[in-house]
Amino acid sequence: MLDSGGGPEDRGVPVAYAAGDGTASVWRFTWLDSWQAIWEPTQLADWRATITGDGVHATPFMHPDLVRAWLAAHGGEAAWLPYFLRATHRSGQRVLWLLVRERGWRGMLFRRLRPAGGGQFDYHDPIVASSRGGRDVLAPGFWPALEAELRPHAGRWFDHCAFSRIRPSCFGEGRFVQSAGTGARVRLDAYPDFATYMAARRGSINKLGRKLRKLSSSGESKFHVYGPGEREAALAWLPDLDAAHRARYPNSAIPADLMRNLVAEGLDSGVVHCSTLLLDGRAFSWHLGFHLNGAHYDYVCGFDPAYARLSPGLVHVHAMLAWLYAETDTRVFDFMLGSESYKHDWTDGEEITVRNGAIRSRAMATLPRLYARRGLHIAGRVAPILRDALPSARGFIGGSAPQLQDVGRRSDSD
């Protein structure tokens, strides 16, 4: 169960919300408040079936395999309090969403409720079964009803409830105003085959034929996708991917142990997608992504700089797209967040701008933690100023720095 700060209760109390058109929308919210209940076999099976079902609106980042991987890389279950939401609309639409709150002194000082995944995952949308389609997949009133459900628990469950990186199809009537980044994607099903898709490419892709010929003349090349049963083989090259990625992006927020956990948890189920490019049997380009419900998500890639002349990045994406057309029913290739220019050459200009929203606690119970955080913030700003303005500790003791060093040396020799 949750700590003494209070946790969700499996109450199932309906929340009524009057929609703008005068119709009544009713949502029923229940919460699972322990990891044991969340991983209970029946509940877990329902979670898996819902996220992979027909007509579902979801991203792989709320898949149980990816959630397990993220948890293991960030302290495990002991480091987080779970708030697993199960919401049902009277139309039959269901919403599943895992929110978490950090334990420990940080969690006690600032109760921040947020979707699982944090900064390592690009999208934090809830899972919506029987989605309405179109721009707004949620049935009317979800966000106001959720706020009405959460408000009575402000100060106990949360001081700040952050709904970050929500895609436009889930905005609805929610107060999502702060931009959290823009990504790019292309609809592969707009083209009947890979050749037609490639014929429509522009920019750097126009020179790809020459790069492919250079690769072919350099040796025997092969593109390999890792499937169930090849987990250990994929784990073996992850250190190479991590090193290559960090060399190119030194400030990357993707921990190496997260990549290992993602492969360990999600490769066999198919939600994690791993591939390599090989030249004469040696892998020189590596890719880790996700695949769910006809959409491919490009996550992290890297290559051996010794092969840079072969343009491994472009060649790898080309091979991956050709494989997706030939071997799968992929409809969308999502390059996700980031403004890298190469993405525009592979896409048709479609962008996704994700946004953040929040509910802030106005409860009296939040005030002591608010003042404590402000005090620590002020102390953090003042400490360097005092350190620079006041005499050094040696000055207070008396004597110059060299004299003190001499005393120390003599003391050591006595």
Q: What is the CATH number of the domain that holds 278?
A: 3.40.630.30
The answer to whether residues 172 and 192 belong to one domain is no
pLDDT at position 407 is 31
The answer to whether residues 81 and 123 belong to one domain is yes
The answer to whether residues 234 and 128 belong to one domain is no
The answer to whether residues 90 and 136 belong to one domain is yes
pLDDT at position 413 is 33
| Domain of residue 210, residue span | 185-352
Q: Which of 170-179, 224-233, 329-338 has the lowest mean pLDDT?
A: 170-179
The answer to whether residues 193 and 163 belong to one domain is no
Q: Which of 88-97, 98-107, 367-376 has the lowest mean pLDDT?
A: 367-376
Evaluate whether residue 199 is within a structural domain: yes
Query: Could you tell me the end-to-end alpha-carbon distance of the chain, in angstroms, rounded to an integer?
Result: 60
Mean pLDDT over 331-354 rounds to 91
Q: Which of 110, 143, 176 is the last residue of a domain?
A: 176
pLDDT at position 9 is 47
How far, in Å, CA of 395 to CA of 102, rounded?
Answer: 43
The answer to whether residues 155 and 265 belong to one domain is no
Evaluate whether residue 20 is within a structural domain: yes
pLDDT at position 208 is 87
* Tens-place pLDDT, residues 260-269: 999 999 999 9
Evaluate whether residue 71 is within a structural domain: yes
Q: Is residue 82 within 8 Å of 8, Cβ to Cβ?
A: no
* Tens-place pLDDT, residues 25-83: 799 999 999 999 999 999 999 999 999 998 899 999 999 999 999 999 999 999 999 99
pLDDT at position 363 is 65
pLDDT of 372 strictly over 60: no
Mean pLDDT over 129-143 rounds to 83
pLDDT at position 1 is 29
Q: Which of 16-20, 43-47, 157-161, 184-188 has the lowest mean pLDDT?
A: 16-20
Mean pLDDT over 137-160 rounds to 90
* Tens-place pLDDT, residues 192-215: 999 999 999 987 787 888 889 999
pLDDT at position 160 is 86
Evaluate whether residue 362 is within a structural domain: no
pLDDT at position 221 is 93
The answer to whether residues 348 and 385 belong to one domain is no
The answer to whether residues 193 and 170 belong to one domain is no
pLDDT at position 23 is 52
Q: Is residue 154 within 8 Å of 362, Cβ to Cβ?
A: yes
**DSSP 8-state assignment for residue 391:** P
Evaluate whether residue 365 is within a structural domain: no
pLDDT at position 373 is 56
* Tens-place pLDDT, residues 303-316: 999 999 999 999 99
What backbone phi and psi angles, to 5 degrees, belong to 20? -65, -25
* Closest C-alpha to 132, from 94, 182, 181, 161: 94
Q: Which of 307, 324, 352 is the last residue of a domain?
A: 352
Q: Is residue 68 within 8 Å of 268, Cβ to Cβ?
A: no
* Closest C-alpha to 98, from 45, 38, 28, 141: 38
The answer to whether residues 212 and 290 belong to one domain is yes
The answer to whether residues 238 and 320 belong to one domain is yes
Residue 82 CB partners (closer than 8 Å, separation 6+): 32, 33, 34, 35, 38, 98, 99, 100
Evaluate whether residue 361 is within a structural domain: no
pLDDT at position 393 is 46
The answer to whether residues 272 and 394 belong to one domain is no
Evaluate whether residue 399 is within a structural domain: yes
Residue 35 identity: W
* Closest C-alpha to 118, from 171, 68, 167, 165: 165
Mean confidence (pLDDT) of the chain? 84
pLDDT at position 36 is 96
Evaluate whether residue 334 is within a structural domain: yes
- Determine the length of the chain: 414
* Closest C-alpha to 76, from 116, 113, 40: 116
The total number of structural domains that make up the chain: 3
Q: Is the dihedral of CA 174, 50, 353, 117 positive or negative?
A: positive
Q: What percent of the chain has pLDDT over 90?
A: 59
SS3 283: strand
pLDDT at position 17 is 57
Mean pLDDT over 221-230 rounds to 94
The answer to whether residues 150 and 268 belong to one domain is no
Write out the two tokens for 287.
């890719």
pLDDT at position 4 is 31
Q: Which of 176, 208, 242 is the last residue of a domain?
A: 176
- Mean pLDDT comparison of 12-26, 121-135, 208-222, 384-398, highest-scoring range: 208-222
